[in-house]
Chain A
Amino acid sequence: EAGVAQSPRYKIIEKRQSVAFWCNPISGHATLYWYQQILGQGPKLLIQFQNNGVVDDSQLPKDRFSAERLKGVDSTLKIQPAKLEDSAVYLCASSLAGVSYNNEQFFGPGTRLTVL
């Protein structure tokens, strides 16, 4: 089966600019996650969707980050304006369902963001 797709793979922007990332989960996966992975650290959950509803966004810096999953399939994550500390890899993951024993998450290749 096709895996989780993300684009772009790399992005370089200057601080205060805006940027958007796109994710297409595995077909049929109801749950979608966005993670931020700073170099040398583990992935940190930014937001979790169940279909098109938000399950958890407690660690999303809402003054500058936003995410949507309007039709319950693809998702976009936006940063506006970007700061130097936003430099990281942004990983998208999907799973069959959140509230079940099918918790295995499948990760996309990530988008490496560099903010100058």
Chain B
Amino acid sequence: GENVEQHPSTLSVQEGDSAVIKCTYSDSASNYFPWYKQELGKRPQLIIDIRSNVGEKKDQRIAVTLNKTAKHFSLHITETQPEDSAVYFCAATLGAGKSTFGDGTTLTVKP
């Protein structure tokens, strides 16, 4: 089955710096790659996603890149703010909708 590895497990940055989280996947049939943000005690919420026919997608301060050949994708957050502090999960999804999640990255943005 699909295996998703996510790094780093924890990340601490100063407010205003950039943060990068990386994920690798094993199943080349995966075609949809969402990123979720989960604040403490709350439900995961989609922040950005990318499909396998696209190499990069940007939404304001958040961007995601996908390298299908190397089977890895990354989340980039620029100009980080304290409210960006949360756990971020990547996922790799097969065509039928089955998602495999990474184990999460705890991002702390220090003011």
Contacts and interface: CB of A to CB of B under 8 A. Distances in A.
B73 interface: no
Interface residues of B, number: 26
A44 interface: yes
Given A58-B1, A105-B34, A40 B101 contact: no
A87 interface: no
Given A40-B103, A42-B103, A104 B46 contact: yes
A91 interface: yes
Interface string A92-112: 000101110101111111100
B102 A42 contact: yes
Main secondary structure of the interface of B (DSSP, over half): strand
B81 interface: no
Nearest to B53: A101
Contacts, number: 66
A110 B32 CA distance: 24
B99 A56 contact: no
A106 B6 CA distance: 21
Contacts of A105: 34, 46, 97, 99
B96 A99 contact: yes
Contacts of B98: 45, 48, 55-56, 98
Contact of B43 (A97, A103, A109): A109
Nearest to A109: B43
Contact of B34 (A41, A44, A104): A104
Interface of B: 1, 4, 6, 32, 34, 36, 42-46, 49, 51, 89, 91, 93, 95-104
